[in-house]
Amino acid sequence: MAVEITKELLEKVALFIENKNDKELAVFFSDMHHADIAEVLDEISFDQSVYIIKLLDSEKTSEVLMDVDDDVREKILKNLSAKEIAEEIDELDSDDAADIIGELPEERQEAVMSQIEDEEHVKEIEELLTYDENSAGGLMAKELVSVNENWNVLKCVKEMRIQAEEVTRVHSIYVVNDNGQLKGRLSLKDLLVASTRTHISEIYIPKVDAVSVNEDAEGVANIMRKYDLEAIPVVDDNDVLLGRITIDDIVDVIKEEADKDYQMAAGLTQDVDSDDSILELTRARLPWLFLGLLGGIGAALIMGGFDEMLKDYKTLFFFTPLIAAMAGNVGVQSSAIIVQGLANDDVKGSVNKRLIKEMLLAALNGMLLAIVLFFFVWLTQGENAFKTALAISISLVLVIIVAGLIGTFIPLFLEKRGIDPAIATGPFITTSNDIFGILIYFWIAKLIIGI
């Protein structure tokens, strides 16, 4: 059952620490899930967090360190000795251990690694650190259960018992040949009903989904989502089994990617948090704000070229924000749908078909909105109301169609070029559509009104 982190609970923890009631504090946290403890550490002071980490046993706090906020973990690690960090690392699976080691400065990494007694664990961590953190190799854990296809069932069970002691959860049993190449997977049911003398080669399932060690993290996430997998094996170019990736690692990838896309859609150029410094926040926001400034200047210059028309038809000026807003909104809607489809690998078929569909959709929406706008302008404006209403309405339809096409095409284009298409859902699309929208608006108005 989840624990609600209330003000009273935090005050109770603070009182335990203030009075140095270590025994009561240890009992208090004994039955609490490591994720709830991590939430407590995120809410209390830094000194109190370090006190708790040093008090509780490493078997519990190692998991807590993986769940606390990145900034909190960084500060805690700075205040732990190399030996204390090594004790935490000893309790973690290789992938989590590599993540923590990778966050340390290089000289600190060497000091911590030298304190880890399990030499095999050290080798596994060192191997994982050689892979890109956003690849399958950077995500995988070395802990798994694998059996040789030439073993009989009796030997297989004995070896599995030994291996399972080092694995937190056994999702699958992988079958390899004498060269360590992945051949398939083993059903626990088939293993239980088979004779002890039966060879694994006779009962294993040859079909198994696997990913290359160099596959990017998003690709792994899409494969596991598509085939509804809890774990997936990782192999090298020769199909040698290297490790496995579990669903909890993929959930973290999906969350990080969603956070990044959300920030890019909001016009932030780098990963930032609300607690970051003013300088860091400024660096993240300023580039897109500058783009918006240039867009505004461009729109002002376009309007300046139609100043004569605006003098005689002032109504056009008052509807300029509406046209710009509709262009931006439609562009963001279109791009958001495409970006989401690309992220989920749901965008299929040719680009032309996608653009034609978006054009028809935008035309339908534009005409429905234009009819309402036409009658509003015609009935509320005075002289030249019909021509003005016609110009504004036709402009709206064309602006919406163009915005929809831009919002669809740009993410697809960026994806083809290897650029994150999420960039197209933010100020980039809004600014470009504002400029195109205003240009189309005044150009159509000039054609219809005849000035």
Is 358 a domain residue? yes
The percent of residues in the chain predicted with pLDDT above 90, rounded, is: 35
Domain boundary among 139, 169, 193: 139
Is 150 a domain residue? yes
Residue 272 per-residue DSSP state: -
382 and 322 within one domain = yes
167 and 134 within one domain = no
11 and 129 within one domain = yes
Is 261 a domain residue? no
The whole-angstrom separation of Cα 124 and Cα 291 is 46
Crossing angle of helices 7-18/34-43, nearest 10°?
80
Q: Measuring CA to CA, which residue among 373, 295, 302 is closest to residue 328? A: 295
How many domains is the chain built from? 3
Residues 6+ apart with CB under 8 A from 202: 194
Is 49 a domain residue? yes
204 and 178 within one domain = yes
383 and 288 within one domain = yes
State the CATH number of the domain containing residue 184. 3.10.580.10
Give the pLDDT band of residue 382 (cuts 50, 70, 90): low
The whole-angstrom separation of Cα 424 and Cα 338 is 10
149 and 118 within one domain = no
Which helix (H) or strand (E) segment holds residue 55: the answer is: helix 46-55
State the CATH number of the domain containing residue 111. 1.25.60.10
Q: Which residues pair with 141 in a beta bridge?
A: 244
Domain that holds residue 383: 278-449
The yes-or-no verdict on residue 260 having pLDDT over 70 is no
397 and 310 within one domain = yes
- The 3-state DSSP class for residue 208 equals coil
298 and 445 within one domain = yes
State the CATH number of the domain containing residue 421. 1.10.357.20
435 and 305 within one domain = yes
Is 1 a domain residue? no
- The 3-state DSSP class for residue 284 equals helix
Instruction: Tell me what pLDDT residue 294 has.
Output: 80
Instruction: Tell me what pLDDT residue 94 has.
Output: 92
Is 209 a domain residue? yes
- pLDDT tens column, 401-438: 988 888 888 888 877 777 777 666 667 777 777 788 88
Q: Are 215 and 134 in contact (CB under 8 A)?
A: no
12-21 long-range Cβ contacts below 8 angstroms, 24+ apart: 13/40, 13/44, 13/48, 13/52, 14/44, 14/48, 17/48, 17/51, 17/52
The whole-angstrom separation of Cα 365 and Cα 367 is 6
The whole-angstrom separation of Cα 136 and Cα 52 is 34
Domain boundary among 87, 116, 139: 139
Strands (E), 297-427: none
440 and 296 within one domain = yes
110 and 40 within one domain = yes
* Residue for token pair 């054009």: 359
The whole-angstrom separation of Cα 244 and Cα 337 is 32
Is 334 a domain residue? yes
305 and 249 within one domain = no
- pLDDT tens column, 107-154: 899 999 999 988 899 999 999 999 998 899 999 999 999 999 999 999
What are the φ/ψ torsions at residue 382 (nearest 5 degrees)? -95, -110
